[in-house]
Each structure stands twice: as C-alpha cells, then as structure tokens.
C-alpha cells in the first residue's frame, strides 16, 4: 500500500530547516510495510497548497500532511484543506474545550489565535494532540484519506504513532522485516565483496554509510511478519559470520554503548587521555546513561605541559619522540590508568589539522593506545578528511580497540578502518 507525504511551510522551501519529519515518517512507514510513493514540500501559499492537495487526492490513497496547523496568520493548511475538500470550516467544540484547558493551565489567556485552531473542515475526524494545542484531523479529499498533523516533530511523531498508525495499519501488507547490522572498520566496497555471492531467497542487502560506520541492512519478505522476521534473522546470522567481528551490534546499538557494555561485563573501570580528539571520546561515552558505572575520569591534555602535569608523560619522551608518537600514546594511556587507579586507560594523540602537519608527521596521523592488565597496545593510522572527520575517525578507532580488548577479541593489528568521510 503506497502512502504520499506532504510537508507545508516556507521555512522548508527556504531551506531554513531540514525536513526531518518526512524522513522519520518514511522510515516509520517503511518499517510498517508501507511504500512511500513520494514526499513533497510546499511553502505557505494558499493556491499552491490547494492544488497540491487536490492532485494528491486524485492520485493517491493515503496522504500524511504535516505543518501549518498553528495559531499564526501564516498557518493556512486547514483553510486549504477545507477548500480542497469543498467543505466549509466549523468550530469543533470539544477541540476548543481542550485548547482552552491547555492554554489556561499555562496561566495564559485564550485568544482568537488559539480559537482558530479549533476550526476544522466539516466532516473531518479530530486527532487529539497530547503534547500541544493544535489538534490534527483526518478527512477524505477525492479518492484519498488525508491525515493532517502539526509540524512540531515531537507532537507529530506521537500523533502519528497513536492516532494515524492504528487507523492505517490494518491495510499494510506487514510482510517485511529488517535487521540492521552495525559495523565499524570495513569499507562499503569490501563489505559488498564479502557478501557478493550470498544467495538468499526473498532477502535483499543494503549498505548505508553513517560516517565513520557502515550499516548492513538485511531485509526479508515473508508470507507474514513472523515469517519475514524468521527469514531476516537467519540471513543476518549468515552475514554476521561472513563479516566477522567488525559487526559490533544490531539495531540501536552504538559503538560507545557496546564498548561500555563490554567494560561493565568485565568489571573494568576506565580512564581516558585525549589529545587531538579533545574530549570527543569522553563525550561519546558519557552520552549514554550509566557511563558512571565504569568511567572514572578523563584528562584532555591539549598542551604538552598538561600531558606532563596531568598524566606524568615524561619530558624526555615528548622531546625525543614528539607529542604525536606511539611512545607518548602509550605513556598517556598508562598515565591515565595510574592517575585514576583503574583497570584500563585509553589514549589518543594525533594531528587533527588543518595545520600542524609535516612531511614526517602529516595532518591525520593519529596514535591510540590501550593500557590494561595484559600490557599496553598501540595502533597508528593516517586518516584523511577535515579536522572534524579526523577527530571522529580517531575517536571511533580508539573505542573499537577498547571494545576488542574488553571483549577478548583480536586487536586487529591494523584494522582496515576507512569509511569514506561524508561528502560535503
């Protein structure tokens, strides 16, 4: 069953915001087994909106419209919907009551702007808005069923899940299931080559780069959802076996959260020592609740004086090998471990650029080290890309080494970490 999307708002046609609503709706509908035929954006122009609604009404069966339901004068979606459906606007008393209650609960006065939001096209069915004032509604225009939702993502998503999905789900085919394998350290072309000759009926593989990671999506079609899930799960196991331990997780797993889980299982406490990544690893690790289970502290040692003072890196090593060297990376990891009295220290030092490189030590040269009860292990790479890409690539490479060490996997003396940076 095909669905069309329409986003209304001049902030979109001016490129002031990116239309993440459409992407979220498309992903959610796809997961539910619908096809999204097209997604369209129009500005706040009455005639253009009416014409678009009428065209979609003639061409489509289900249309999800977002935006333009607010209280201000440039919110004209409802007036356009009524005109396209050839009905007038009526004041919905229950919607008005609900709006009044919400506005007054905030200690504000109800104005005619608020009241306008209770006017809906005659014959439309109200879709309550749990998070905001403007209700949504559903109405037929020509041969299509339209759902009008607010543009505020939080309100739209909840209303879509609670009000729209239950109404359209009965007509979805519901025969597709996707397993999303998360990988780090494998270029897309290598992954595709490794999986080239896999032949699995009713299975399709797709690759999606989320720099610096690669997702492999295993999509199965079956007689029903349960059959599709079974099929996808089996196929995902085959793919996992081929790709090996570059697959670090599935679905919503992330490299920092999986690394944290490995540390927790091992009962290891962690200290970080960051130079060129400037706090990015600490930030990634502490983005997830429960980081305090294992992370004791980090030293971001940007200046050489901080490397010595905070981590006890020897001035001789700094002078003899330079701040960007395997020796300093090792002493940083050991220093962090000693400083915080923990089981494992992870360090990064490198040249993120754009300046500071030389022919011997180019921009992008990075060393990272893990110091743990079994010894100290250092890796080295020259990353390509701009400053932020080098920082991200270095942070993920260091986390991946930590994941491998904490999980008892081989370190991979030079793991082929090289997703292309995102084009810009």
Task: Give the nearer residue to a second copy in terms of CB position, either 44 or 92.
Answer: 44
Q: Is the dihedral of CA 292, 267, 368, 405 positive or negative?
A: negative
Task: Give 1: exposed, middle or buried? Use CB within 10 Å, 0-12, 13-18, 19+.
Answer: middle
Paired with 177 in beta bridges are: 220
Cis peptide before 390 (omega within 30 of 0): no
Q: Minimum Å distance from CB 6 to a second copy?
A: 10
Task: Tell me which residue of 140, 224, 184 sits closest to 402, measured CA to CA.
Answer: 184
Q: How far apart are the C-alpha atoms of 140 and 57, rounded to whole Å?
A: 8
Spell out the residues 6+ positions from residue 37 whose beta carbon is closer than 8 angstroms to its own. Answer: 2, 3, 4, 60
Task: Give the nearer residue to a second copy in terms of CB position, either 274 or 400.
Answer: 274
By the 8 A CB rule, do 140 and 84 touch?
no
Considering the rule CB under 8 A, would residue 217 count as an interface residue with a second copy? yes
Q: How far apart are the C-alpha atoms of 9 and 254, rounded to whole Å?
A: 34
Considering the rule CB under 8 A, would residue 205 count as an interface residue with a second copy? no
Range in contact with a second copy (rule: CB under 8 A) among 140-148, 161-169, 297-305, 325-333:
297-305
Task: Give the nearer residue to a second copy in terms of CB position, either 273 or 330.
Answer: 273
Q: Binding a second copy by CB under 8 A: which of 32, 43, 222, 407?
A: 43
Report the DSSP pairing between strands 62-66 and 2-8: parallel
Q: Binding a second copy by CB under 8 A: which of 168, 295, 332, 405?
A: 295
Considering the rule CB under 8 A, would residue 354 count as an interface residue with a second copy? yes
Considering the rule CB under 8 A, would residue 40 count as an interface residue with a second copy? yes
Contacts of a second copy in 60-79 (CB under 8 A): none
Q: Binding a second copy by CB under 8 A: which of 256, 260, 345, 353?
A: 353
Task: Give the nearer residue to a second copy in terms of CB position, either 29 or 371.
Answer: 29
Contacts of a second copy in 388-417 (CB under 8 A): 388, 391
Which runs of E-coded beta strand occur in 68-189? 89-91, 119-121, 125-127, 136-141, 144-149, 176-184
Range in contact with a second copy (rule: CB under 8 A) among 91-99, 197-205, 231-239, 352-360:
352-360
Paired with 127 in beta bridges are: 136
Work out the end-to-end distance of the chain between its first and last CA atoms, rounded to an integer number of angstroms. 35
Contacts of a second copy in 218-277 (CB under 8 A): 271-272, 274, 277
Task: Give the nearer residue to a second copy in terms of CB position, either 30 or 376.
Answer: 30
Query: How many CB atoms lie under 10 A from the CB of residue 114?
Result: 19
Considering the rule CB under 8 A, would residue 181 count as an interface residue with a second copy? no
Range in contact with a second copy (rule: CB under 8 A) among 80-88, 160-168, 282-290, 371-379:
282-290
Task: Give the nearer residue to a second copy in terms of CB position, either 124 or 272.
Answer: 272
Considering the rule CB under 8 A, would residue 302 count as an interface residue with a second copy? yes
Query: How many CB atoms lie under 10 A from the CB of residue 353?
Result: 20
Contacts of a second copy in 1-30 (CB under 8 A): 5, 11-20, 22-30
Contacts of a second copy in 139-168 (CB under 8 A): 152-155, 157
């Amino acid at each position: 069953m095909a669905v069309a999307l329409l986003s209304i708002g001049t902030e979109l046609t001016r490129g002031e915001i990116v239309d993440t609503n459409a992407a979220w709706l498309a992903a959610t509908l796809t997961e539910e087994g619908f096809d999204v035929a097209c997604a369209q954006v129009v500005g706040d122009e009455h005639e253009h909106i009416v014409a678009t609604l009428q065209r979609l009404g003639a061409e489509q069966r289900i249309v999800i419209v977002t935006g333009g339901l607010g209280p201000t004068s440039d919110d004209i979606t409802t007036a356009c919907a009524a005109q396209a459906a050839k009905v007038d606007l009526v004041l919905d008393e229950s919607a008005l009551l609900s709006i009044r209650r919400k506005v007054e609960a905030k200690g504000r006065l109800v104005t005619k702007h608020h009241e306008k939001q209770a006017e809906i096209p005659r014959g439309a069915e109200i879709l309550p808005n749990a998070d905001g004032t403007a209700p949504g509604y559903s109405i037929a225009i020509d041969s299509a069923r339209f759902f009008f939702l607010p543009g505020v993502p939080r309100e739209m998503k909840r209303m879509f899940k609670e009000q729209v999905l239950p109404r359209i789900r009965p007509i979805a085919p519901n025969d597709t299931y996707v397993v999303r394998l998360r990988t780090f350290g494998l270029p897309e072309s290598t992954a595709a080559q490794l999986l080239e000759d896999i032949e699995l009926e009713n299975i399709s593989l797709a690759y999606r780069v989320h720099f610096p990671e690669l997702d492999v999506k295993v999509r199965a079609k079956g007689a029903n959802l349960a059959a599709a899930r079974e099929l996808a799960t089996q196929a995902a196991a085959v793919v996992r076996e081929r790709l090996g331990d570059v697959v670090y997780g599935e679905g919503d797993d992330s490299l920092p959260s999986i690394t944290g889980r490995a540390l927790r299982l091992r009962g290891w406490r962690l200290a970080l020592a960051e130079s060129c990544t400037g706090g990015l690893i600490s930030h990634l690790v502490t983005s997830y609740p429960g980081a305090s289970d294992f992370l004791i502290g980090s030293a971001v040692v940007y200046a050489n004086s901080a490397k010595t003072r905070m981590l006890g890196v020897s001035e001789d090593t700094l002078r003899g090998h330079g701040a960007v060297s395997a020796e300093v990376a090792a002493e940083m990891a050991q220093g962090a471990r000693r400083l915080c009295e923990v089981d494992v220290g992870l360090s990064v030092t490198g040249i993120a650029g754009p300046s500071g490189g030389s022919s011997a030590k180019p921009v992008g040269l990075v060393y990272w080290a893990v110091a743990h009860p079994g010894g100290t292990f250092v890796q080295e790479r020259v990353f390509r890309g701009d400053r932020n890409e080098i920082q991200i690539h270095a942070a993920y490479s260091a986390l991946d080494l930590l994941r491998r060490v904490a999980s008892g996997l081989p370190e991979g003396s030079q793991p082929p970490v090289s997703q292309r940076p995102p084009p810009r």
